[in-house]
């Protein structure tokens, strides 16, 4: 026991004496060794540069309604300012001064609409026959939700895909027939009124709200704003240099739960007001909103070959090219699972739960993505020395000065375009690098020492190991 204690004491003294000698000696290698305490591994991340601004919700479109006094005498308005209207809502009535011409026009339009209905009904019959053939060749099934999305199941077969595609196309055709029949009904009502007292109704062509009514009948006698919202705002001259049309944007507000995705669709090429040297110019912009919240995304899984073949089979049955069968249906699309629920004609449908919950005039916050790097190799700006290089720890135990090319900078993170790879070790406290391209040492981690090995080992083996360590240093 005394012998082991003496050996350990002698070894400790030798360790201290040698370190003091190497530190004080002018030609010692210690002066050329970097002592480092912290480092990190380069990783890939997404850098997103954004521009923050504010905006206000406005209608996407305004629809002016005109009255031609030569066509007859104005009778009455059916709506008032602030009323909500849908396509087909009567707006005003006038007494026709051209009864024969109006009668002929209405009869011609009714005949044309009836021909369109007959043509679409023939297409539906062809699709139903093709559906019967397809159903007999497969017993698989897929769910079609009320919003028109098809939910695929594992092992989806081509026959099943064709059947679902045909089912959706049949529903679209029947919905189109219902819309045409409504138009026919409106024309027939107008024709009957014309026969009775020469009176005709003018009906809305869009869904929206009556914004203005001119009771003096000056054109436009009425203005309807659409229910679809957009966001407007203004850029400063500084902002204008960083934005372009087509950039992605996100809309947030304390009054809406989800952030809404959109796209910067229009930037004014001239200032909002007359230029003035005493104040900064502002430039208007518009953002078109997506119908779904930014957090919602529906992905339909089906191979491209199966989709193409399904579309060709259905298109051949009609003699016309199909629209994308996986495209989201309109807002009034009801459940297309015809065995479980009858088809709704669209009159009593509830609003789509994914529609933006915005009101005209509401103020919102806007985040515009001006630049983005996905999977970029990044470091903190404090790790870059003199704006051109950083220090990397190599596998040979040296500190290498690595010159780099920098890219996007967001806050304190900088993209490294060239000169650094993911997984390489970068010196964090670069100011502690005494000499580049030289060896480095680190602190002794006592917690990682295995005392059992020290106890079980021979004392002379430890002495030899320490001696080798000093001689290699």
pLDDT per residue as tens digits for the range 226-251: 888 899 999 999 998 889 999 999 99
Same domain, 199 and 95: yes
| pLDDT-derived band at 455, boundaries 50, 70, 90 | low
203-228: average pLDDT? 89
Residue 158 lies in a domain: yes
Same domain, 24 and 131: no
String of DSSP letters for 234-265: EEEHHHHTT--TT-EEEEE-TT-SS-EEEEEE
Looking at residue 429, its pLDDT comes to: 77
Strand-pair category, 389-393 with 398-403? antiparallel
Q: Which of 308, 327, 353 is the last residue of a domain?
A: 353
Q: Is the pLDDT of residue 52 over 60?
A: yes
Same domain, 13 and 99: no
Same domain, 167 and 305: yes
Same domain, 303 and 199: yes
Nearest residue to 324 (alpha-carbon basis) of 336, 335, 315: 315
**8 A C-beta contact, residue 48 and residue 67:** no
Nearest residue to 343 (alpha-carbon basis) of 180, 185, 177: 177
**8 A C-beta contact, residue 116 and residue 89:** no
Q: Please measure the distance between the N-terminal and C-terminal CA atoms of the chain and give it in whole angstroms.
A: 31
Looking at residue 212, its pLDDT comes to: 92
| pLDDT-derived band at 32, boundaries 50, 70, 90 | low
Looking at residue 248, its pLDDT comes to: 94
CA-angle at 145, arms to 130 and 159, nearest 5°: 30
Residue at token pair 């006592």: 446
Q: Which of 313, 331, 353 is the last residue of a domain?
A: 353
Looking at residue 353, its pLDDT comes to: 41
Residue 255 lies in a domain: no
Residue 162 lies in a domain: yes
Work out how many domains the chain is built from and give that number.
2
The SS3 call for residue 230 is: strand
Question: Helices 304-318 & 99-135, crossing angle to 10 degrees?
Answer: 130
* pTM tops 0.75: no
Same domain, 15 and 162: no
Looking at residue 198, its pLDDT comes to: 55
Least confident of 133-137, 206-210, 390-394, 423-427: 133-137
pLDDT per residue as tens digits for the range 270-304: 888 888 888 889 999 999 988 665 544 333 334 44
Same domain, 22 and 112: no
pLDDT top residue among 217 and 199: 217
Residue 278 lies in a domain: no
Same domain, 24 and 144: no
Q: Which of 288, 321, 353 is the last residue of a domain?
A: 353
**8 A C-beta contact, residue 164 and residue 144:** yes
Same domain, 108 and 12: no
Residue 390 lies in a domain: no
Residue 238 lies in a domain: no
3-state helix vs strand vs coil in the chain, percent to 5: 35, 30, 35
In 37-115, beta strands by DSSP E: 39-41, 43-59, 62-65, 72-77, 84-85, 90-96
Looking at residue 330, its pLDDT comes to: 39
Residue 224 lies in a domain: no
Same domain, 15 and 102: no
Q: Is the pLDDT of residue 433 over 50?
A: yes
Q: Is the pLDDT of residue 461 over 50?
A: yes
Domain that holds residue 159: 90-203+299-353
Looking at residue 194, its pLDDT comes to: 64
Residue 116 lies in a domain: yes
Looking at residue 447, its pLDDT comes to: 64
pLDDT top residue among 275 and 195: 275
Whole-number CA gyration radius for the chain: 38
Question: What percent of the chain is predicted at pLDDT more than 90?
Answer: 17
Least confident of 26-35, 283-292, 293-302, 422-431: 293-302
Phi, psi torsion values for 439, nearest 5 degrees = -65, 165
Same domain, 188 and 112: yes
């Amino acid at each position: 026991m005394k012998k082991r204690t003496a050996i350990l004491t002698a070894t400790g003294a030798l360790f201290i004496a040698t370190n003091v000698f190497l530190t004080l000696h002018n030609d010692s290698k210690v002066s050329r060794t970097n002592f480092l305490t912290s480092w990190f591994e380069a990783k890939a991340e997404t850098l997103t540069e954004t521009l923050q601004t504010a905006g206000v919700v406005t209608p996407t479109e305004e629809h002016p309604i005109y009255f031609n006094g030569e066509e007859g005498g104005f009778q009455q308005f059916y709506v008032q300012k602030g009323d909500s209207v849908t396509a087909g809502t009567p707006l005003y009535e006038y007494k026709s001064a051209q009864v024969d011409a109006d009668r002929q026009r209405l009869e011609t339009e009714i005949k044309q609409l009836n021909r369109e209905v007959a043509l679409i009904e023939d297409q539906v019959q062809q699709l139903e026959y093709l559906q019967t053939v397809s159903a007999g060749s497969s017993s698989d099934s897929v769910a079609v939700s009320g919003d028109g999305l098809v939910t695929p199941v594992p092992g989806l077969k081509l026959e099943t895909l064709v059947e679902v595609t045909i089912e959706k196309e049949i529903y679209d055709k029947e919905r189109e027939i219902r819309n045409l029949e409504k138009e026919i009904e409106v024309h027939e009502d107008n024709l009957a009124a014309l026969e009775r007292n020469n009176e005709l109704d003018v009906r809305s062509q869009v869904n929206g709200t009556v914004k203005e009514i001119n009771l003096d009948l000056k054109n436009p006698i009425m203005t309807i704003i659409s229910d679809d919202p957009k966001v407007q705002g203004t850029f400063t001259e500084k902002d204008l240099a960083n934005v372009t049309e087509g950039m992605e944007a996100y809309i947030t507000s304390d009054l809406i739960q989800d952030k809404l995705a959109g796209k910067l669709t229009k930037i004014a090429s001239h200032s909002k007001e007359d230029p003035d040297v005493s104040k900064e110019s502002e430039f208007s912009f518009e953002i078109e909103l997506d119908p779904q919240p930014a957090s919602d995304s529906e992905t339909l899984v089906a191979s491209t070959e199966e989709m193409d073949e399904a579309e060709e089979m259905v298109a051949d049955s009609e003699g016309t090219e199909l629209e994308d069968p996986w495209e989201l249906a309109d807002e009034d699309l009801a459940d297309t699972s015809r065995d479980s629920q009858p088809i709704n004609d669209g009159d009593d449908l509830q609003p789509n739960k994914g529609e933006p919950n915005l009101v005209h005039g509401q103020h919102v916050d806007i985040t515009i993505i001006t630049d983005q790097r996905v999977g970029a190799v990044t470091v903190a700006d404090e790790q870059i020395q003199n704006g051109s290089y950083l220090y990397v720890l190599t596998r040979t135990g040296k500190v290498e000065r690595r010159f780099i090319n920098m890219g996007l900078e967001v806050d304190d993170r900088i993209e490294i375009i060239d000169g650094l790879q993911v997984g390489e070790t970068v010196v964090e406290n670069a100011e502690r690098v005494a000499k580049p391209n030289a060896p480095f040492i680190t602190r002794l981690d006592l917690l990682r020492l295995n005392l059992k090995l020290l106890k079980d080992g021979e004392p002379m083996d430890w002495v030899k190991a320490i001696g080798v360590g000093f001689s290699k240093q």
